[in-house]
């Protein structure tokens, strides 16, 4: 369980599971509102740019969001031979959408975010994340993603990116077998799903391994977890899990070695090393 501790000078998110806390020195509060779904706050920090907080949980900062967004998009897209249609579940800040749009082979991007206010506030306070919002390939659906997936045509999507909040509240169902079954049905034969899977230090047994099991029982043939740093998230170490209907490997390696767009974290060596499982976790998979 996490909870915010806010005074005039600092925003602190305490994580009881890890017995740790992360703090950012504040300049000012820029915005606060209660949407129909959640409490949304935006702060200006002194060293990390703007900070987006939802229900007391840090979502992103201007300074370090590129790591998460690049790792949620590029490893999966370069592991698919021809990703034409990409669906993003959640991702209201549009940073992952920006990264997906860098792939010229992608013909259609559908983003399904339940809370439109997250996107509109991101356009205002994080415009650098929203540079692809007007891309002709992009369609926004502001609705329940579970319901959208249930009605998605079979074999119509190549890659599904689940860029959700933690598995609590209305997001909890996104980590369960029934949701993954709808994803299996909607994905084409070579389809992939990638989903943020929390901190390996504190959530490997409680969240990551159970979601991998749910993915497999839903019909995915193969799952792998990749690891990356994320300073503003609890423990500073994060993960994402990829589920494949068939095989999972880097199939567009020459494209990664010769990237035709700019990245700040992701590259060929990062892709390969991100899938290396730390020794203390190897016996569990």
CATH code, domain carrying 134: 3.40.50.150
* Residue 144, in any domain of the structure: yes
The pair phi, psi for residue 249, each rounded to 5°, is: -165, 165
* Residue that finishes a domain, picked among 22, 42, 61: 61
How much is the pLDDT for 6? 60
Q: Strands across the sheet with 157-163, in order?
A: 138-141, 108-112, 85-90, 157-163, 187-196, 237-244, 222-229
* Residue 202, in any domain of the structure: yes
User: Is 174 found in the same domain as 39?
Assistant: no
User: Is 41 found in the same domain as 22?
Assistant: yes
Burial, 226: exposed, middle or buried (Cβ in 10 Å; 0-12, 13-18, 19+)? buried
Show the domain range for 11. Answer: 2-61
* Residue 201, in any domain of the structure: yes
User: Is 214 found in the same domain as 81?
Assistant: yes
User: Is 133 found in the same domain as 52?
Assistant: no
* Residue 10, in any domain of the structure: yes
How much is the pLDDT for 3? 58
How much is the pLDDT for 5? 63
User: Is 79 found in the same domain as 54?
Assistant: no
User: Is 172 found in the same domain as 45?
Assistant: no
Confidence of residue 1 (pLDDT cuts 50, 70, 90): low
How much is the pLDDT for 18? 85
**Nearest-angstrom CA–CA distance, 151 and 154:** 9
Decide if 7 is catalytic: no
User: Is 206 found in the same domain as 100?
Assistant: yes
Per-residue pLDDT, averaged over 254-258, amounts to 95
* Residue that finishes a domain, picked among 61, 85, 112: 61
Kindly report, residue by residue over 52-103, the tens digit of the pLDDT: 999 999 999 999 999 999 999 999 999 999 999 999 999 999 999 999 999 9
Per-residue pLDDT, averaged over 141-158, amounts to 96
User: Is 154 found in the same domain as 47?
Assistant: no
Confidence of residue 4 (pLDDT cuts 50, 70, 90): low
User: Is 196 found in the same domain as 124?
Assistant: yes
Kindly report, residue by residue over 9-35, the tens digit of the pLDDT: 999 999 888 889 999 999 999 999 999
Q: Which of 64, 163, 166, 255 is catalytic?
A: 163
Helix (H) and strand (E) counts in the chain:
10, 13
Residues 6+ apart with CB under 8 A from 66: 95, 263, 264, 265
How much is the pLDDT for 40? 98
User: Is 57 found in the same domain as 84?
Assistant: no
Q: What percent of the chain has pLDDT over 90?
A: 90
How much is the pLDDT for 127? 98
Kindly report, residue by residue over 111-149, the tens digit of the pLDDT: 999 999 999 999 999 999 999 999 999 999 999 999 999
How much is the pLDDT for 17? 84
How much is the pLDDT for 2? 60
Give the CATH number, domain containing residue 47: 2.30.140.10
How much is the pLDDT for 273? 97
**Nearest-angstrom CA–CA distance, 21 and 191:** 38
Contact 67, 98 (CB under 8 A): no
* Residue 283, in any domain of the structure: no
How much is the pLDDT for 285? 86
* Residue 236, in any domain of the structure: yes
* Residue that finishes a domain, picked among 24, 39, 61: 61
Mean pLDDT over all residues of the chain? 95
Q: How many independent structural domains does the chain possess?
A: 2
* Residue 285, in any domain of the structure: no
Kindly report, residue by residue over 194-219, the tens digit of the pLDDT: 999 999 999 999 999 999 999 999 99
Residues 6+ apart with CB under 8 A from 69: 95, 96, 98, 99, 129
Burial, 148: exposed, middle or buried (Cβ in 10 Å; 0-12, 13-18, 19+)? middle
* Residue 282, in any domain of the structure: no
**Nearest-angstrom CA–CA distance, 117 and 126:** 13
Per-residue pLDDT, averaged over 159-176, amounts to 88
Stated pTM of the model:
0.95
User: Is 123 found in the same domain as 9?
Assistant: no
How much is the pLDDT for 172? 87
């Amino acid at each position: 369980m996490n909870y915010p501790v806010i005074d005039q000078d600092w925003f602190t998110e305490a994580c009881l599971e890890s017995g740790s806390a992360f703090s950012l020195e504040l300049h000012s509060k820029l915005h606060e509102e209660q949407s129909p779904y959640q409490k949304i706050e935006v702060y200006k920090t002194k060293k990390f740019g703007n900070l987006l907080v939802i229900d007391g949980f840090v979502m992103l900062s201007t300074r370090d969001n590129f790591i998460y967004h690049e790792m949620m998009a590029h490893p999966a897209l370069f592991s698919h031979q021809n990703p034409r249609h990409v669906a993003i579940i959640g991702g209201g800040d549009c940073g992952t959408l920006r990264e997906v749009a860098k792939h010229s082979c992608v013909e259609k991007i559908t983003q399904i975010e339940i809370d439109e206010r997250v996107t509109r506030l991101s356009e205002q306070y994080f415009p650098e994340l929203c540079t692809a919002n007007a891309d002709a390939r992009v369609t926004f659906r502001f609705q329940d993603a579970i319901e959208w997936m249930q009605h998605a045509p079979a074999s119509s999507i190549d890659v599904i990116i689940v860029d959700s909040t933690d598995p609590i509240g209305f997001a909890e169902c996104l980590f369960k077998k029934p949701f993954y079954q709808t994803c299996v049905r909607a994905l084409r034969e070579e389809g992939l799903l990638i989903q943020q899977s929390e901190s390996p230090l504190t959530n490997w047994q409680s969240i990551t391994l159970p979601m991998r099991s749910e993915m497999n029982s839903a019909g995915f043939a193969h799952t792998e977890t990749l690891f990356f740093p994320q300073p503003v998230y609890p423990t500073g170490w994060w993960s994402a899990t990829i589920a494949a209907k068939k095989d999972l490997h880097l199939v567009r390696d020459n494209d990664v070695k010769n990237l035709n767009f700019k990245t700040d974290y992701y590259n060929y060596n990062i892709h390969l090393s991100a899938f290396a499982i730390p020794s203390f976790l190897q016996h569990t998979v």
